[in-house]
Amino acid sequence: MLKRLLLSLIILSGSLFATESDLLFDSWIKNYNELLKENVTLGKKEGIETTLVDYKGIRSNPKFRKLIYDLARLPKLETLSESDQLAMWINAYNIIVIKLIVENPKITSIKQLDSPFKRIWKQKLGIVAGSSYSLDEIEHGIIRTRFKEPRIHFVVNCASISCPDLANYAYEGEHLNHQLNHQTKRFLSNPTKGLSLKGEVLYLSKLFKWYGEDFTPNVKGWLMSHGYLSDKGQDYKVKYMTYNWALNSQ
Protein backbone atom coordinates (compact mmCIF):
# COMPACT_ATOMS: atom_id res chain seq x y z
CA MET A 1 0.00 0.00 0.00
CA LEU A 2 2.78 2.41 0.97
CA LYS A 3 4.66 1.64 -2.26
CA ARG A 4 1.55 2.42 -4.32
CA LEU A 5 1.08 5.71 -2.48
CA LEU A 6 4.71 6.72 -3.05
CA LEU A 7 4.46 5.79 -6.73
CA SER A 8 1.28 7.85 -7.09
CA LEU A 9 2.96 10.84 -5.45
CA ILE A 10 5.98 10.57 -7.75
CA ILE A 11 3.76 10.40 -10.84
CA LEU A 12 1.66 13.32 -9.60
CA SER A 13 4.71 15.48 -8.81
CA GLY A 14 6.15 14.72 -12.24
CA SER A 15 2.87 15.68 -13.86
CA LEU A 16 2.73 18.95 -11.91
CA PHE A 17 6.33 19.75 -12.86
CA ALA A 18 5.62 19.08 -16.54
CA THR A 19 2.56 21.31 -16.39
CA GLU A 20 4.48 24.12 -14.69
CA SER A 21 7.31 23.76 -17.22
CA ASP A 22 4.88 23.89 -20.14
CA LEU A 23 3.27 27.02 -18.72
CA LEU A 24 6.64 28.78 -18.50
CA PHE A 25 7.43 28.04 -22.14
CA ASP A 26 3.91 28.95 -23.28
CA SER A 27 4.08 32.26 -21.44
CA TRP A 28 7.49 33.07 -22.93
CA ILE A 29 6.33 32.31 -26.48
CA LYS A 30 3.16 34.38 -25.98
CA ASN A 31 5.17 37.42 -24.86
CA TYR A 32 7.76 37.01 -27.62
CA ASN A 33 4.99 36.69 -30.19
CA GLU A 34 3.49 39.99 -29.01
CA LEU A 35 6.87 41.75 -29.16
CA LEU A 36 7.46 40.64 -32.75
CA LYS A 37 3.98 41.61 -33.90
CA GLU A 38 4.49 45.10 -32.46
CA ASN A 39 7.96 45.71 -33.93
CA VAL A 40 8.45 43.75 -37.18
CA THR A 41 6.97 45.01 -40.44
CA LEU A 42 7.33 44.39 -44.16
CA GLY A 43 9.56 46.81 -46.03
CA LYS A 44 12.32 47.39 -48.52
CA LYS A 45 15.88 48.57 -47.94
CA GLU A 46 18.67 49.13 -50.45
CA GLY A 47 16.54 47.41 -53.08
CA ILE A 48 15.97 44.27 -51.01
CA GLU A 49 12.49 43.21 -49.91
CA THR A 50 12.63 42.18 -46.28
CA THR A 51 11.06 42.58 -42.88
CA LEU A 52 12.35 45.55 -40.92
CA VAL A 53 12.73 45.73 -37.16
CA ASP A 54 12.02 48.65 -34.84
CA TYR A 55 15.05 48.15 -32.60
CA LYS A 56 14.52 51.52 -30.95
CA GLY A 57 11.00 50.52 -29.95
CA ILE A 58 12.21 47.17 -28.65
CA ARG A 59 14.98 48.85 -26.64
CA SER A 60 12.44 50.89 -24.67
CA ASN A 61 9.99 48.01 -24.19
CA PRO A 62 10.09 46.39 -20.72
CA LYS A 63 8.57 43.28 -22.27
CA PHE A 64 11.83 42.71 -24.13
CA ARG A 65 13.97 42.91 -21.00
CA LYS A 66 11.67 40.43 -19.28
CA LEU A 67 11.93 38.04 -22.24
CA ILE A 68 15.73 38.04 -22.01
CA TYR A 69 15.54 37.58 -18.22
CA ASP A 70 13.05 34.73 -18.51
CA LEU A 71 14.92 33.02 -21.38
CA ALA A 72 17.90 32.56 -19.07
CA ARG A 73 15.72 30.96 -16.41
CA LEU A 74 13.59 28.59 -18.47
CA PRO A 75 13.77 24.86 -17.72
CA LYS A 76 16.14 22.83 -19.88
CA LEU A 77 14.83 22.65 -23.43
CA GLU A 78 15.40 18.88 -23.45
CA THR A 79 12.21 18.57 -21.39
CA LEU A 80 10.23 19.56 -24.51
CA SER A 81 9.12 17.54 -27.51
CA GLU A 82 11.49 17.57 -30.48
CA SER A 83 9.42 20.08 -32.46
CA ASP A 84 9.06 22.33 -29.41
CA GLN A 85 12.81 22.15 -28.81
CA LEU A 86 13.60 23.19 -32.38
CA ALA A 87 11.08 26.02 -32.24
CA MET A 88 12.57 27.32 -28.99
CA TRP A 89 16.15 27.15 -30.26
CA ILE A 90 15.13 29.16 -33.34
CA ASN A 91 13.39 31.69 -31.10
CA ALA A 92 16.41 31.82 -28.80
CA TYR A 93 18.82 32.46 -31.68
CA ASN A 94 16.67 35.23 -33.12
CA ILE A 95 16.03 37.06 -29.85
CA ILE A 96 19.73 36.89 -28.92
CA VAL A 97 20.50 38.60 -32.24
CA ILE A 98 17.85 41.23 -31.45
CA LYS A 99 19.44 41.73 -28.02
CA LEU A 100 22.83 42.21 -29.67
CA ILE A 101 21.54 44.97 -31.95
CA VAL A 102 19.55 46.63 -29.17
CA GLU A 103 22.71 46.80 -27.04
CA ASN A 104 24.71 48.37 -29.89
CA PRO A 105 22.45 51.11 -31.27
CA LYS A 106 25.12 52.88 -33.35
CA ILE A 107 26.09 50.00 -35.63
CA THR A 108 24.88 49.71 -39.23
CA SER A 109 25.87 46.04 -39.65
CA ILE A 110 26.20 43.11 -37.28
CA LYS A 111 29.64 42.43 -38.74
CA GLN A 112 30.92 45.62 -37.12
CA LEU A 113 30.78 43.72 -33.83
CA ASP A 114 33.54 41.29 -34.79
CA SER A 115 36.49 41.63 -32.42
CA PRO A 116 40.14 41.38 -33.58
CA PHE A 117 40.35 37.95 -31.97
CA LYS A 118 36.87 36.47 -32.30
CA ARG A 119 34.05 36.91 -34.80
CA ILE A 120 30.68 37.91 -33.38
CA TRP A 121 29.21 34.47 -34.14
CA LYS A 122 31.69 32.80 -31.78
CA GLN A 123 31.26 35.15 -28.81
CA LYS A 124 29.10 34.09 -25.85
CA LEU A 125 26.11 36.39 -26.26
CA GLY A 126 23.07 34.95 -24.53
CA ILE A 127 21.87 32.68 -21.76
CA VAL A 128 19.31 29.98 -22.52
CA ALA A 129 17.96 27.85 -19.66
CA GLY A 130 20.94 28.63 -17.46
CA SER A 131 23.75 28.10 -19.98
CA SER A 132 25.68 30.65 -22.07
CA TYR A 133 25.82 30.21 -25.83
CA SER A 134 27.36 31.77 -28.90
CA LEU A 135 25.28 32.07 -32.07
CA ASP A 136 27.46 29.43 -33.73
CA GLU A 137 26.86 27.03 -30.85
CA ILE A 138 23.10 27.40 -31.23
CA GLU A 139 22.94 27.29 -35.03
CA HIS A 140 25.66 24.78 -35.87
CA GLY A 141 26.24 22.91 -32.63
CA ILE A 142 22.57 22.39 -31.79
CA ILE A 143 20.08 23.25 -34.54
CA ARG A 144 21.90 21.90 -37.60
CA THR A 145 23.61 19.01 -35.84
CA ARG A 146 20.71 17.74 -33.76
CA PHE A 147 17.68 18.34 -35.98
CA LYS A 148 18.99 17.89 -39.55
CA GLU A 149 16.34 20.28 -40.91
CA PRO A 150 17.43 22.31 -43.98
CA ARG A 151 14.47 24.70 -43.71
CA ILE A 152 16.01 26.26 -40.61
CA HIS A 153 18.25 28.25 -42.95
CA PHE A 154 15.17 30.26 -43.91
CA VAL A 155 14.12 31.15 -40.36
CA VAL A 156 17.25 32.01 -38.36
CA ASN A 157 17.87 35.72 -38.75
CA CYS A 158 21.20 37.55 -38.51
CA ALA A 159 19.80 41.11 -38.45
CA SER A 160 20.87 41.74 -42.06
CA ILE A 161 18.71 42.54 -45.07
CA SER A 162 19.97 39.58 -47.13
CA CYS A 163 19.18 37.19 -44.27
CA PRO A 164 15.87 35.33 -44.32
CA ASP A 165 13.14 37.56 -42.93
CA LEU A 166 12.64 37.81 -39.20
CA ALA A 167 9.06 36.57 -38.91
CA ASN A 168 6.60 38.75 -37.02
CA TYR A 169 5.60 35.76 -34.91
CA ALA A 170 7.26 33.29 -32.57
CA TYR A 171 7.92 29.72 -33.66
CA GLU A 172 5.86 27.05 -31.91
CA GLY A 173 6.26 23.30 -32.02
CA GLU A 174 2.57 22.74 -32.75
CA HIS A 175 2.73 24.90 -35.89
CA LEU A 176 6.41 24.54 -36.72
CA ASN A 177 6.13 22.52 -39.93
CA HIS A 178 3.67 25.03 -41.39
CA GLN A 179 5.80 27.96 -40.21
CA LEU A 180 8.97 26.48 -41.74
CA ASN A 181 7.17 25.89 -45.03
CA HIS A 182 5.76 29.42 -45.02
CA GLN A 183 9.11 31.09 -44.37
CA THR A 184 10.89 28.85 -46.89
CA LYS A 185 8.37 29.75 -49.58
CA ARG A 186 8.61 33.41 -48.62
CA PHE A 187 12.40 33.45 -48.95
CA LEU A 188 12.57 31.47 -52.18
CA SER A 189 9.81 33.58 -53.74
CA ASN A 190 11.84 36.72 -53.08
CA PRO A 191 13.94 37.51 -56.18
CA THR A 192 15.85 40.25 -54.35
CA LYS A 193 17.61 37.88 -51.95
CA GLY A 194 16.38 34.29 -52.20
CA LEU A 195 16.02 32.88 -55.71
CA SER A 196 15.79 34.48 -59.14
CA LEU A 197 15.80 32.76 -62.53
CA LYS A 198 16.95 34.83 -65.50
CA GLY A 199 17.05 32.84 -68.70
CA GLU A 200 19.11 29.78 -67.86
CA VAL A 201 21.00 31.43 -65.03
CA LEU A 202 19.82 30.61 -61.52
CA TYR A 203 20.67 33.31 -58.99
CA LEU A 204 20.64 31.99 -55.43
CA SER A 205 21.26 33.34 -51.96
CA LYS A 206 24.77 32.63 -50.72
CA LEU A 207 23.14 30.57 -47.98
CA PHE A 208 23.04 27.75 -50.53
CA LYS A 209 26.77 28.14 -51.12
CA TRP A 210 27.63 28.21 -47.43
CA TYR A 211 25.29 25.39 -46.35
CA GLY A 212 24.81 23.38 -49.55
CA GLU A 213 25.68 20.15 -47.73
CA ASP A 214 22.43 20.42 -45.73
CA PHE A 215 20.28 20.08 -48.86
CA THR A 216 19.75 16.52 -50.11
CA PRO A 217 20.70 15.23 -52.63
CA ASN A 218 22.14 18.65 -53.57
CA VAL A 219 20.88 22.22 -53.78
CA LYS A 220 19.30 21.92 -57.24
CA GLY A 221 17.82 18.53 -56.44
CA TRP A 222 16.32 19.85 -53.21
CA LEU A 223 14.83 22.88 -54.95
CA MET A 224 13.31 20.68 -57.67
CA SER A 225 11.89 18.11 -55.25
CA HIS A 226 10.22 20.90 -53.26
CA GLY A 227 8.71 22.62 -56.28
CA TYR A 228 10.94 25.70 -56.38
CA LEU A 229 12.67 24.70 -59.61
CA SER A 230 11.48 22.90 -62.74
CA ASP A 231 12.95 19.62 -64.00
CA LYS A 232 15.20 21.67 -66.28
CA GLY A 233 16.92 23.05 -63.19
CA GLN A 234 19.91 20.72 -63.43
CA ASP A 235 20.95 22.46 -66.65
CA TYR A 236 20.89 25.97 -65.21
CA LYS A 237 24.10 27.78 -64.40
CA VAL A 238 24.22 28.90 -60.77
CA LYS A 239 25.38 32.31 -59.66
CA TYR A 240 25.21 33.61 -56.11
CA MET A 241 23.73 36.95 -55.16
CA THR A 242 25.79 39.53 -53.30
CA TYR A 243 25.02 39.18 -49.60
CA ASN A 244 24.08 42.54 -48.11
CA TRP A 245 24.96 42.77 -44.42
CA ALA A 246 23.22 46.13 -43.86
CA LEU A 247 21.14 46.16 -40.69
CA ASN A 248 17.46 45.23 -41.06
CA SER A 249 16.41 48.25 -39.02
CA GLN A 250 13.41 50.45 -39.75
Contact 177, 184 (CB under 8 A): no
Task: Please compute the mean of the pLDDT values over residues 224-247 and round it to a whole number.
Answer: 95
Confidence (pLDDT) at 18: 55
1 pLDDT higher than 70: no
pTM above 0.85, yes or no: yes
Confidence (pLDDT) at 11: 43
**Which residues on neighbouring strands pair with residue 202, listed in sequence order?**
197, 238
List, for residues 121-164, the tens digit of each pLDDT value: 999 999 999 999 999 999 999 999 999 999 999 999 999 999 99
Q: What is the DSSP string of 192-228?
A: TTTEEEETTEEEE-THHHHSGGGSSS-HHHHHHHTTS
181 pLDDT higher than 70: yes
Among 1-5, 162-166, 200-204, 221-225, the minimum mean pLDDT is found in 1-5
Cβ within 8 Å of residue 141, ≥6 positions away: none
- Higher pLDDT: 71 or 13? It is 71
Work out the angle at residue 143's Cα, subtended by the Cα atoms of residues 164 and 169, and round it to the nearest 5 degrees. Answer: 45
Domain ranges of the chain: 23-240
Share of the chain above pLDDT 90, in %: 88
155-180 b/e (C-beta count within 10 Å ≥ 16 → b):
bbbbbbbbbbbbbbbbbbbeebeebb
Confidence (pLDDT) at 15: 46
